[in-house]
Copies of this chain bind each other. A is one copy, B any other.
Amino acid sequence: MRLVVIGGVAAGLSAASRARRIDAGLEILVLERGETISYGACGLPYYLEGRVRDAAELIVYTPEYFRKERNITVRTRAAVTEIAHARREVTLDGGERIHYDRLVIATGARPYCGIEGAELPHVFRLQTLADGIALKSYLAERLPQRAVVIGAGYIGLEAADALRRNGLAVTIIDSGACLLRRDDAELTAILVKHLKRYGVEARLGTRVRSIQPDRVEDSPCDLVVLATGLQPNAELAFEAGVQRGITGAIAVDERMQTNLGGVYAAGDCAETMHLVTGRPAYVPLGTTANKMGRVAGANAAGARERFDGVVGTCIVSVFGMGLGMTGLSVAQARREGFAPISVRIEARDRVRYFGGRPTSVELVADQKTGRLLGGVVMGERGVEGRINVIATALHARMKADDFERLDLAYAPPFSTTWDPLLIAAQQLVHKL
Contacts and interface: CB of A to CB of B under 8 A. Distances in A.
Interface of A: 10, 40, 42-43, 46, 51-52, 57, 154, 158, 275, 285-288, 290-291, 307-308, 310-317, 322, 324, 326, 351-354, 382-389, 391-393, 395-396, 398, 402, 405-415, 417-419
A351 B407 contact: no
B324 A417 contact: no
Given A393-B396, A395-B402, A409-B324, A315 B414 contact: yes
Contact of A315 (B46, B312, B314, B409): B409
Contact of A407 (B310, B410, B413): B310
B384 A406 contact: no
A33 to B, nearest CB: 22
A389 to B, nearest CB: 5
21 contacts: A40-B417, A154-B411, A158-B411, A275-B407, A286-B410, A287-B407, A287-B417, A290-B418, A315-B409, A315-B410, A316-B411, A326-B407, A383-B409, A384-B409, A384-B414, A384-B415, A388-B409, A391-B406, A391-B408, A392-B396, A396-B398
A397 to B, nearest CB: 8
Contacts of A418: 287, 290
A54 to B, nearest CB: 10
A314 B408 CA distance: 8
A387 B419 CA distance: 14
A308 B406 contact: no
A315 B313 CA distance: 26
Contacts of A46: 353-354, 412
Contacts of A275: 407
A374 B304 CA distance: 26
A383 B391 CA distance: 17
A349 to B, nearest CB: 10
Given A308-B405, A316-B411, 4 more contacts: A158-B411, A313-B407, A383-B409, A385-B388
Copies of this protein chain in the complex: 2
Contacts of A405: 291, 307-308, 395
Contacts of A391: 406-409
B385 A395 contact: no
A43 B413 CA distance: 9
Contact of A385 (B40, B51, B382, B402): B382
Contact of A389 (B52, B310, B385, B407): B385
A104 to B, nearest CB: 18
Given A388-B409, A408-B391, A409-B315, A414 B383 contact: yes
Nearest to A398: B396
A426 to B, nearest CB: 8
A222 to B, nearest CB: 28
A389 B387 contact: no
A411 B313 contact: no
Contacts of A414: 315, 317, 322, 383-384
Contact of A409 (B291, B326, B396, B412): B326
A265 to B, nearest CB: 18
A291 B405 CA distance: 7
Contact of A312 (B154, B322, B407, B417): B407
A363 to B, nearest CB: 14
A57 B392 contact: no
Contacts of A307: 405
A405 B285 CA distance: 14
Contacts of A308: 402, 405
A407 B311 contact: yes
Centre residue among A286, A407, A408, A415 by max chain B CB count within 10 A: A407
Given A290-B417, A315-B414, A407 B385 contact: no
Contact of A408 (B154, B313, B353, B408): B313
A158 B411 CA distance: 10
Contacts of A410: 42, 285-287, 315
